[in-house]
Amino acid sequence: MNDAAVRDDAKDDTQAGQSWPLQIYKTLKAHGVSQISYVPDAGHSRLIELSHADPAIQTTVLTTEEEGVALSAGAWLGGDRSVLLMQSSGVGNCVNMFSLAASCRLPFLTLVTMRGEWAEFNPWQIPMGKATQQAFEIMGVTVFRLDRPEDAEEMISAACSLAFEGDQQIAVLISQRMLGRKKWTETK
Amino acid sequence: MVQNFTLGRREAVKALLADRKDLLVVTGLGSASYDVFDAGEHPGNFYLWGAMGGAGMVGLGLALAQPKRPVAVITGDGEQLMGIGSLLTIATKIPGNLTIVILDNGHFGETGMQVSHSGLGAQLDVIATGAGFRSVTEITDIKGVNDYRPTLQRIDAGPRLARIRIATGHVDRALPPRDGVFLKNRFRENLGFAVT
């Protein structure tokens, strides 16, 4: 994606509350992120689209979330900065793979859209949603929580610095309240 | 279903890595790490001592970051089985410079030689073909390994998967360094990244 395309996207986002995925995308770019992997989630759909549209970012769809933890490790070994996008339900899948980042003190950054907390209609989402923060913390991953769209740029920037310069493992949980209630039919 | 293969794993890996040039190597935990270490210590080796199922994906992240360098993942059937979905993920990215080498003895060698899914009949080569790997090779003898060796130097036409059918016989452990921070820094420094 070129600058003109970025500006067009910005123009579309007339509502401040809707522009946070673009803010995150721009902040990741500013911090030199060149690989993004993901297991899809509706809350991440805009960021996933932006990533796929950007030829300077290698975007990888995963079959399960722990693949992204290992991918990030390999990317860093090769000199790339990588970010994993997932939903809170996938965090438990990653637990053992986090030992790779801990053992090698690897930079690791994941952005997690939350389910199972605010106005959740699906009881099956709630157990992992409630355990998400602890699942990270038992493996030594530092957790930030993004509750307000206007904090997106500053928080993602801080998370990038901690991860890629401070060699830390960082998870940013994007709150379900900020994402809004799940809609059964998505409109473009 | 049980088949007897006679190719020694140490002999196979040593032949595979002879004259390795710019090849970068990621190893799956257990015997594959020992085999690669035994074939010759090298700063372009990254040995996994855990993260079971993750070797292929570490290889993918590395291959995408270093598209001009050939990358080989050398792992066992058990390790690859735990991350079997990663074969699908790797295939979607079409990394021309990546080769996955599975040292397949049909057993979980590190934990008491329990028979693996491969030993029970799962065909990892067929699975890789179905996943979309562009080149899949079955190797059963040292001539096959020697013939395949130049392929590891390619940085196009991947991803490739080679299933090397090895014997189940005991080999002594040869233990590579297991300090992850050391392995990381050594690997990155070898690629020209300063240790900060």
Tens-digit pLDDT profile for residues B1-23: 456 899 999 999 999 999 999 99
Between B154 and A14, the higher pLDDT residue: B154
- pTM over 0.90? The answer is yes
- Is pLDDT of A186 > 70? no
| pLDDT value of position A181 | 72
C-alpha to C-alpha distance for A134 and A140, rounded to whole angstroms = 10
Asked if A109 contacts A84 with a C-beta cutoff of 8 angstroms, the reply is: yes
A74 and B49 within 8 Å at the Cβ level: the answer is no
Interface ipTM above 0.90: yes
Query: Which residue type occupies A169?
Result: Q
In chain A, which residue's Cα lies nearest the Cα of B196?
A165
Between A13 and A103, the higher pLDDT residue: A103
For A148-166, the pLDDT digits (tens) are 999 999 999 999 999 999 9
What residues of B are in contact with residue A96 (Cβ under 8 Å)?
A: 50-52
What residues of A are in contact with residue B187 (Cβ under 8 Å)?
A: 77
Nearest CB among A63, A82, A103 relative to B61 is that of: A82
A58 and B93 within 8 Å at the Cβ level: the answer is yes
- Is pLDDT of A5 > 50? no
User: Nearest CA of chain A to the CA of B83: how many Å?
Assistant: 8
- Is pLDDT of A188 > 60? no
What are the tokens at B108?
A: 């979980």
Average predicted confidence (pLDDT) for chain B: 96
C-alpha to C-alpha distance for B196 and B194, rounded to whole angstroms = 6
| pLDDT value of position A180 | 83
| pLDDT value of position A15 | 54
In chain B, which residue's Cα lies nearest the Cα of A96?
B51
Percent of chain B, pLDDT > 90?
A: 94
Instruction: Give the pairing type, strands B45-47 and B24-27.
Output: parallel
- Is pLDDT of A14 > 50? no
| pLDDT value of position A183 | 67
| pLDDT value of position A9 | 46
User: Nearest CA of chain B to the CA of A99: how many Å?
Assistant: 7
- Range A113-141 average pLDDT: 96
Between A32 and B172, the higher pLDDT residue: A32
What are the tokens at B49?
A: 């001592």
B184 and A77 within 8 Å at the Cβ level: the answer is yes
For B101-138, the pLDDT digits (tens) are 999 999 999 899 999 999 999 999 999 999 999 999 99
> Among the listed ranges A54-63, A116-125, B153-162, which one has the minimum average pLDDT value?
A116-125
**What sign for the dihedral angle of Cα A173, A88, A64, B91?**
negative
Res. A3 pLDDT band, cuts 50 70 90 = very low
C-alpha to C-alpha distance for A83 and B146, rounded to whole angstroms = 38
Strands (E), chain B: 24-27, 45-47, 71-76, 98-104, 107-108, 114-115, 135-139, 160-165
What residues of A are in contact with residue B184 (Cβ under 8 Å)?
A: 76-77, 104-106
What residues of A are in contact with residue B50 (Cβ under 8 Å)?
A: 96, 99-100, 103
Average predicted confidence (pLDDT) for chain A: 91
For A71-113, the pLDDT digits (tens) are 999 999 999 999 999 999 999 999 999 999 999 999 999 999 9
Asked if the C-beta of B85 comes within 8 angstroms of chain A's C-beta atoms, the answer is yes
